[in-house]
Amino acid sequence: MADGEWEDEWLIESIRLYKDLHVFELQDPTRVIEWTGEKSICVAGYEKLKRNEILQLLLPQKLYAKENQGLCAERDFKVEHGGFSDWPVYNLKHVPNTSLLLTTGPEENSIQIWQIAAEDSDVIKPVSNICTEGKRENLWTRIATTSSESSRVLHGSVINNIHITEIESQKSVYTLGENSSDAVSSLDFLDSRTVLVCSVKGQLYLADTREAQSVMKNSAAPPALSGERWCMGVRSELQAKAGPSVARLSSEGQMVLSDVRNFSIPMKKATCNIQKPSSSWDFLSVTWAPVLDDCLAISGFNGTVHIYDTKAWDMSAAAAAEPLFIHKGHAVNCQGAAGDTPSVTAHVWHPWKPRTLLSSASDGSLHVWDWTEIQSAG
Taking only the tens place, the pLDDT of each residue in 171-230 is: 999 998 888 889 999 999 988 888 999 999 999 999 988 876 667 776 455 665 556 899
Higher-confidence residue of 361 and 222: namely: 361
SS3 at position 260: helix
Q: What is the mean pLDDT of residues 78-88?
A: 94
- The rounded distance, in Å, linking the Cα atoms of 30 and 345 is 7
Question: Which residues in the chain are classed under CATH 2.130.10.10?
Answer: 31-221
The CATH number for 31-221, chosen from 3.60.40.10, 3.40.50.1820, 2.130.10.10, 1.20.120.450, is 2.130.10.10
Q: What is the mean pLDDT of residues 254-279?
A: 82
- For the stretch 269-299, pLDDT in tens is 999 988 765 566 789 999 999 999 899 999 9
Give the pLDDT confidence score for residue 11 in this predicted structure: 64
Give the pLDDT confidence score for residue 187 in this predicted structure: 96
Report whether 89 contacts 54 (CB < 8 A). yes
Report whether 127 contacts 116 (CB < 8 A). no
Model confidence pTM above 0.85: yes
pLDDT, mean over the chain: 84
Kindly report the number of other CB atoms within 10 A of residue 166's CB atom: 17
Position 57 pLDDT exceeds 90:
yes
Distances (CA, A) of 251 to 18, 231, 348: 28, 8, 19
